Structures are given as C-alpha cells and as structure tokens.
Amino acid sequence: MRVLEPTPALDSVTPAWHFPSTLIDRLRLADGREVVVRPVLAFDAAAAQDFVRALSPASRLRRFHFGLRELPPTLLRAMTDVDHRQHVAIIAEAIDADDEARIVADARYVVGPDPAEAEFGIAVADAWQGLGLGRTMMRRLARHAARHGVKRLVGDVLPDNAAMRAITDALGGRLVRSPDGTGVLRARFDLRA
Ligand SMILES: CC(C)(COP(=O)(O)OP(=O)(O)OC[C@H]1O[C@@H](n2cnc3c(N)ncnc32)[C@H](O)[C@@H]1OP(=O)(O)O)[C@@H](O)C(=O)NCCC(=O)NCCS
C-alpha cells in the first residue's frame, strides 16, 4: 500500500505568513457603538489610506510627528502588507450607514533590531476618540507582544498628547525624555510574559 507523504507544516510552506486570529474580537465602546478588531491585511490598503486622510491634522501630527496628508505608497504598503510577526497591526472597523466597513482605529508594533524591543504606533479616528478604544487596543497589542517574546514596547509621544499620556499611565507604562533631545517623550511599557 502506498503511504502518503505527511503534509508539511504550514509554516514551512509559507514561512513569512502567519495570521494571528486570536487578535480578532468585537468590542462595545462607551457610547454603545460596536467595532470589530482584526489584524490588518494587504487588501485594507485603500481603507487604511482613507483612515489616515480623514484624521484631523492634529491627530495625524501626533501619530506620525510630521505633517503628512496621506501615506506615501511605500509606507501604505509597509503598513498593510505585514508579516504579523515582526510587524503586528490591528485595525478596528465600524459599519457605516451604507453598510460599508470603515477603519476607525489602527494600532501596531514593529520589532526592532533588538528583538526584545518593539516600537508601537496608534491612532483612533477623531470621532471615535475618548470611548476607550485606544486604551483597549493598546492593551491587546501589549498582551500579544508579551506572548510573542517582546519585552519592551516603546513609542514617541508629543508632550501635549494628554490621551496618550493617560493611556501610558493606565497601562503601567512610563514616560521618559526621548534620547534625541527634541523634547518628544518616549512611552515605555515593560511587558511580562
Ligand atoms: C492617543 C489616542 C490613540 C487615544 O485613543 P482614545 O480612544 O481616544 O483613548 P481612550 O478613549 O482609550 O482614552 C484613554 C485615556 O485618555 C484620556 N483621554 C482621551 N482623550 C483625551 C483628551 N483629549 N484629553 C485628555 N485625556 C484624554 C481618557 O480619559 C482616558 O484616560 P483614563 O484611562 O484616565 O480614563 C487617540 O487620542 C489618537 O488617536 N490620537 C492621535 C494619534 C496619537 O496621538 N497617537 C499616539 C502616538 S503614537
């Protein structure tokens, strides 16, 4: 009788691709609205660009620290076509009145040259801020990072960013002066496995 070859492990077929389905969830926000949180995928590029374009200039500045209006194509691709290991990104989607899904928040980290440390970035659409979404997404991102070997999450925060300072505090992080001397603060979360 012919014995079939064992199927190779999925990871050996697609080494760069891993889908973290544990990051999928539905959240009810403080005002009763619901969003679905899930890892970003390459086909989200157009929606991700719409999300960035729709942010207020102040929110875009706080997120990217320079005055961009939209993401340049290479950055857009880098932010949506991610490997879900070195670069982990979650989005929150809401369904609008036309039954279309729209991105209302984005949180991510990229593991650095030192694999113990990853840099995070987060943004919530202006009309969805102050409802607990930012804090919840940061908490989930930090939990996922800790489970996958990251020991520290760091990110630059403009000094006037009260919401990000509050999140850092609430999640047990610390704010220190950024080493580059620009006055930007560095949020640092020491993660436990
Ligand atoms: C920072 C940001 C992600 C927070 O998201 P959010 O969904 O609005 O935050 P939450 O509703 O979870 O609130 C978190 C905390 O911030 C506080 N907060 C929210 N908006 C605030 C504001 N405008 N001023 C002061 N505090 C504020 C909340 O009261 C809460 O504090 P608490 O934990 O003590 O109750 C969001 O404001 C944002 O996208 N800003 C622009 C981009 C940015 O700043 N990114 C961070 C740098 S990478």
Is the distance from CB of 102 to CB of 47 less than 8 angstroms? yes
Q: Tokens at residue 45, please?
A: 């590029």
Is 47 part of any domain?
yes
Name the pairing type of β-strands 101-111 and 117-124.
Answer: antiparallel
Q: Which atom of ligand 1 is nearest to the CA of 105?
A: 39
**162-170 vs 133-147: helix crossing angle, rounded to 10:** 50
Protein residue with its CA nearest to atom 10 in ligand 1: 132
Is 101 part of any domain?
yes
Is 16 part of any domain?
no
Lowest-confidence range among 2-11, 55-64, 79-88? 2-11
- 134 Cα to the center of ligand 1, angstroms: 6
Is 10 part of any domain?
no
Is 75 part of any domain?
yes
pLDDT of residue 18: 79
pLDDT category of residue 193 using cuts at 50, 70 and 90: low
pLDDT category of residue 1 using cuts at 50, 70 and 90: very low
Please say if the pLDDT value at position 3 is more than 50.
Answer: no
Q: Is 119 exposed, middle or buried (0-12, 13-18, 19+ CB in 10 A)?
A: middle
pLDDT of residue 13: 46
Is 83 part of any domain?
yes
The pLDDT tens digits of the residues spanning 168-190 come to: 999 999 999 877 778 899 999 99
Number of domains in the chain: 1
Q: What's the domain range around 31?
A: 21-190
Cα 119 to Cα 68, 109, 113, 190, distances in angstroms? 20, 5, 11, 12
Whole-number Å distance between alpha carbons of 139 and 158: 20
Is 9 part of any domain?
no
Protein residue with its CA nearest to atom 16 in ligand 1: 163
138 CB less than 6 Å from ligand 1?
A: no
Cα 105 to Cα 46, 61, 78, 123, 184, distances in angstroms? 14, 15, 17, 6, 23
137 CB less than 6 Å from ligand 1?
A: no
127 CB less than 6 Å from ligand 1?
A: no
pLDDT category of residue 17 using cuts at 50, 70 and 90: low
pLDDT of residue 14: 47
Is 152 part of any domain?
yes
Q: What is the CATH number of the domain that holds 36?
A: 3.40.630.30
Query: Position of tokens 């009309």?
Result: 127
